[in-house]
A and B are shown apart, each in its own frame.
Chain A
């Protein structure tokens, strides 16, 4: 009896240390992992993070005023979202979840379109031909199986791109999460899968999703590498993501990355109150780990950042939001006849009849 030591097996399977480059104060703690970024790139990355923090504040306010619709707050996740996206190439294919609008915007979606998506207007989803992405995915996990498909398509096209997809901690419990990483693994397809672990899936804490001590180790089930990284540390996120991209693009197959992060705001603006399930102390603890603090300290010490620079970015973000809102407001109201026209390339009988009926209705309203 007892020849197999299950506790020992568990201990060896659970070795996925959290990677970090900068500590909470902005000191370098791992020089070996330090990514090779120029001063300009460092400033650009910080600029994107500050811009996005301002976008989040404005979007939350606009949501409350009823000027935006569906919105999932992003504050706290800037390093996880933007440093990971910063490591990818412009023609890499992005699969975002519903909280990952900042990546889409920095990948080429116009801010006005992001606002239209929030409001529920089709113009937000009319993607330019060169934008390598699809709209934010609402069905949690679906983006993972689709990313495996795009990655296999890329491999067959030999185009050198990589597909990358985001989900949250709760999303790792879905079947499609597992099938996505497993398919990409079986086909050795160039994909990077990111799990943004912010500790909660709406109100359900991460510990209630799985007994696995890390989410990165779920990669083992697909036979692919998994890495856990400090998701509040932009440099660590960038370094790990860049290495994963290089690994995948070189034909070695996919990688799974877990970023340890936090959302300061609610799950979404649609009635969620995080005070029901999170303590003030917990949020305060994560506020000390704010990704902006450590990057600000690090860059200021290097002479690359200042209060004036930061304020200029904030002002720019506010101006961009104002401009994008104006653009979104100017987009014509949606027509049911257009929806019908976009349902099939070749219109079947029922669609033809309904187009005619709705066009008559729309003409009557306009005339």
Chain B
């Protein structure tokens, strides 16, 4: 056991699974000798060989097709899309092909592929690096979308994803890569897919969130506690399909909900969470469901990030409003 960053936890998960599963293949742009643009695959090629960890030509669609083909030959592909803003180049492979493969072939074939990709704001990246496009993929049945919020979950969720028989999109928030450390076991362990976590228990309001907004929500909860407001924070972890049961259990207890996402209000999964609560838990509610999200503009120019991205103050404000309703 040692304190590790999320990026180190991810590297460890890949390292352990490369050793555990001799069919696992890690590939993408610069993931080999270079160890990845964020060092997520550092040392893996040296340790596991060029046959297992390798670079590809610069073409996301080709990487998607390569993954599907390798899976059809019994391999377990773990491709990387360098930044998730580049997903549009590979949208057919993900949404048009791999997500529907098991269904399309009546269960006679399946694709155990885990796509890793970096996203998320706060690092002042150039255009199309930080966008939260996860909502696009959550609309495709057949693929899971997993977004860890901390090093412990990142390792356990990634190992679960790598062992899944179905495709998983594993989205890694850039701001979480190295911003904090926490205790992560050295050995292999799993965190279940399709299962949300109660990141903090509370009684007065439920904050449902994921990714970098989990930290902001916990910060907001600390702030709210000073005002004697007890907030429960639900970290979705798997954002598609949703763990509605865990959300409803919490809402039943608190009667108030704020859904928090970094994506724009018209994007992300906030609306889906709100709709599920409205359909299945409206009688638990003492106030309308509130959402904290980014403005409905394209992702901001780097210098405007602090003004544009949702933060703990926005969450505190939203919670106070649903409390005072």
Residues of chain A touching chain B, judged by Cβ–Cβ distance below 8 Å, are 93, 122-123, 125-129, 134-135, 139, 142, 144-154, 156-157, 163, 175-176, 179-180, 182-183, 186, 338-339, 341-346, 348-351
Contact = CB atoms under 8 A, between A and B. Distances in A.
Contacts of B243: 349
Contact of B57 (A129, A152, A186, A339): A186
Nearest to B75: A153
B69 interface: yes
B75 A123 contact: no
Nearest 3 pairs between A and B by C-beta?
A149-B69, A145-B65, A153-B73
A172 to B, nearest CB: 15
B70 A135 contact: no
Contact of B67 (A129, A149, A176): A149
A348 B194 contact: yes
A27 to B, nearest CB: 42
A142 B96 contact: yes
23 contacts: A126-B108, A127-B108, A139-B92, A145-B93, A146-B68, A148-B62, A149-B66, A149-B67, A151-B69, A154-B73, A175-B59, A175-B61, A176-B61, A176-B62, A179-B59, A180-B65, A186-B56, A345-B166, A346-B166, A349-B194, A349-B242, A349-B243, A349-B244
Given A146-B72, A153-B73, A350-B241, A345 B105 contact: no
B65 A176 contact: yes
A70 B110 CA distance: 25
Interface string B93-137: 100110000111111111000000000000000000000000000
A50 B139 CA distance: 46
A144 B65 contact: yes
Interface of A (DSSP majority class): helix
B307 interface: no
Contact of B69 (A126, A148, A338): A148
Given A148-B65, A343-B142, 17 more contacts: A125-B108, A142-B96, A145-B61, A145-B62, A145-B65, A145-B66, A146-B65, A147-B65, A149-B67, A157-B73, A176-B65, A179-B57, A180-B65, A182-B59, A345-B102, A346-B166, A349-B244
B298 interface: no
Contacts of A176: 61-62, 65, 92
B247 to A, nearest CB: 10
Nearest to A132: B72
Given A183-B57, A339-B103, A349-B243, A150 B142 contact: no
B75 to A, nearest CB: 6
A361 to B, nearest CB: 19
B72 A93 contact: yes
A175 B75 CA distance: 25
Nearest to B25: A156
B306 interface: no
A151 B107 CA distance: 23
B165 interface: yes
A338 B96 CA distance: 20
A142 B62 contact: no
Contact of A349 (B73, B103, B141, B245): B245
Nearest to A138: B96
A127 B109 contact: yes
- Looking at B65, B109, B166, the one whose CB has the most chain A CB atoms below 10 A away is B65
Nearest to B244: A349
A152 B66 contact: yes
B69 A344 contact: no
A176 B66 CA distance: 11
A172 B189 CA distance: 46
A293 B275 CA distance: 65
A146 B92 CA distance: 12
A149 B194 contact: no
A339 B64 CA distance: 24
A345 B193 CA distance: 13
